[in-house]
Chains A and B, each alone.
Chain A
Amino acid sequence: MSHDAKVAIPRLATGVPGLDAVLGGGLPELSFNILAGAPGSGKTTLAHQIVFANATPDRPALYFTVLGEPALKMLRYQQQYQFFDPAKVGPAIRFINLSQVVLEQDLNAVLAAISREVEATNPAYVIVDSFRTLVRKVGATPLAEIELQAFVQRLALHLTSWQATTFLLGEFGETEFHNNPLFTVADGLCWLSQAVERNAIVRKLQVVKLRGQASVPGLHTFRITDAGLQVFPRTLGLTARPVTRSSRRLSIGVPALDAMLGGGIPEGDSVLVAGPSGSGKSILATQFIAEGLRHGEPGIVAVFEEGPAEYAARATSFGLDLDAPVHAGRLQILYLRPLDLSVDEALQEILDAVARVGATRLVIDSLAGFELALAAAFRQDFRESLYRMIGALTGRGVTIVSTVEVAESFTDLPLSPYAISFLTDDILRLRYIELDGALRKILMVVKMRGGNHSKEIREYAITPAGLVLGEGLAAYRGLVTGTPERTPPAKAAGTTARRRATPQE
């Protein structure tokens, strides 16, 4: 035996999508854990999902129920989840009711009953649901606290000695974490919460404590569906993946605009297309996706304000066929469920789609729609979430074009209603101007983080072939105010000559 070989703690896959990443790789084997949260927060479902994923006849689970939900009702409801396998009940997962022992006897008898079952079954997993009942039984006197601490300590010792990974479920509140002896003994403490924000339910999971390994701190959104719990880690793997940048430029699908961008969008950039309603943001984003598809680059379009069919139909009206690449699996138009979405869920759906399709181009159309699709509680985190999403995606080499609607102003040039320009590498601004008694459109490249770009202000039009750039408007000044004036001829000619000489300054 080596003198300096440290013990390796195997980690159990929980069977809960996303949870292993939050835990830092899974649950430490033989650990003594608490799943805490208010009634209805998902504790029992989480415990069932974990044991149904892990328990086998050779490594069975003992599920002790204590004065909580009757076992028959629990099984009635839990079997509605896809992870529930009736064949495992009995050979792999054994349910034992401790209510009578708890009601009629003391904690020593409870410990004896649990120990007896554990020694007879030799389980790999033990669940006590709900442990809170036992805590209530001893009361709140100082003597009772000592009794409880001794009970918990002996229970933990016994279950660990018998090589069981343990979960105690309880309706504990966040304020109880600090002075309850139970939490001192526990190796892991996972807290589930749910809050109603306006009309939406927001569920959060926090790993408050986990001995022996680094979990991801903070509150992580989770959702309960027919498949059980799914956790959406707030890091999205952002810290685990180094950002690699290439020098390649991607065409946006409008050659003249590529020229203004110095040869196209730098691969892996995040581009913001800002402009008022009807200015052509969406069609430009669609041209970007279609151009990628023409070059064999799969894409994802995340839409929030219209369905995929409507989006594809609008592209068709500009001569861009999105249906064929969708059917070929090279393009996915994601319509993210509106109004009760968490940011992390949306990001996970986008990341999953990017991985599934192998996408290198992504369109988010639009950021305003994205924000509106979120449950109200998540809107305050929108900027931070956007930062994480863009970092996660561009870190994977995906080039992103996001559209954002800005209210047109004739006194200034807003780029976005959000202070998010720091999130984007490049900004294109579309706007209306009044010129010669007509409403016309202009485009400018406001920012390019990765290099030089044209400072020209170009007129453009939305044609049956999409967005088409026209000439520069060097003969006018005050274009960004929306009400330009014609520059005196001599000055205009000089400016034009200087601008044309250095289009890529």
Chain B
Amino acid sequence: MPQALPAVHAVVRQILAYEITQGTPAEPPGQAAVRACEHLRIVFSRFAGVAGFRSLLARALTLAARDVPWLASVEVTAEGALAGFGEGGQAQDPAAAVAGGSALLTQFLGLLHTFVGEALTVRLLADVWPDALFDPPPPGRQENAR
């Protein structure tokens, strides 16, 4: 699996920054990522089916667990929700919990990028976070689009 593109990291940072503003100061570290995955689940299940979303998130989790070992205890339910992320994160220090969420989102968006390219990934994310502004792909960078 190639390393995620800088553009993917940038979008993940934007998503997490946005989701942190939607949470409460008292919530456990890493909850912004859980909330982001839930938003993704709702929109992508409609678009790709529950099974389609679930398989993509499960693959992203497996890839992310290579970099963040505590994610190995997390599971994806039949409905595509994360199970055990909160508990696993709370057992870590805050930075490791945040890193787990970030790694999971990065791998998920990396998979999307691999399958449908940057332009369409950004377009689909705009459906998930219609109020958030993602940087559009620079001209000529639509790698998978002709």
Contact = CB atoms under 8 A, between A and B. Distances in A.
B115 A76 contact: yes
Interface string A81-125: 110101101100011110110000000000000000000000000
Contacts of A76: 115-117, 144
Contact of A97 (B52, B127, B144): B52
A95 B126 CA distance: 14
A75 interface: yes
Nearest to B118: A86
Given A73-B115, A75-B120, A97 B146 contact: no
Contacts of A90: 123-124, 126-127
A94 B123 CA distance: 11
A87 B123 contact: yes
12 contacts: A70-B49, A71-B47, A71-B52, A72-B48, A79-B116, A79-B120, A79-B144, A81-B146, A84-B145, A89-B120, A95-B48, A97-B46
B65 interface: no
B68 interface: no
Contacts of A96: 46-47
A80 interface: yes
Nearest to B142: A86
Interface residues of B, number: 23
A71 B142 contact: no
B99 interface: no
A209 to B, nearest CB: 32
- Chain B's interface: helix, strand, loop or mixed, by majority? helix
A126 to B, nearest CB: 16
A72 B46 contact: no
A100 B49 contact: yes
Contacts of B117: 76, 79, 86
A86 B146 contact: no
Given A81-B146, A82-B146, A97-B45, A72 B52 contact: yes
Contacts of A84: 145-146
Q: Which 6 residue pairs across A and B have the least CB separation, nearest first?
A: A97-B49, A86-B119, A86-B120, A71-B48, A99-B49, A72-B115
B6 to A, nearest CB: 20
A71 B115 CA distance: 10
A176 interface: no
Q: For chain A, give the interface size range.
A: 20 to 34
Contacts of B50: 100
Contacts of A95: 47-48
B47 to A, nearest CB: 5
Contacts of A89: 120, 123-124
Interface in B119-142: 119-120, 123-124, 126-127, 142
Interface in A158-217: none
B17 interface: no
B51 interface: yes
A308 to B, nearest CB: 28
Contacts of B127: 90
B56 interface: yes
A80 B119 CA distance: 13
A72 B56 contact: yes
Contacts of B45: 97
A97 B41 CA distance: 13
B96 to A, nearest CB: 31
A81 B146 CA distance: 7
A226 interface: yes
A181 B145 CA distance: 40
A480 to B, nearest CB: 59
A86 B49 contact: no
Contacts of B146: 79-82, 84, 226
Contacts of B112: 72
Contacts of A80: 144, 146
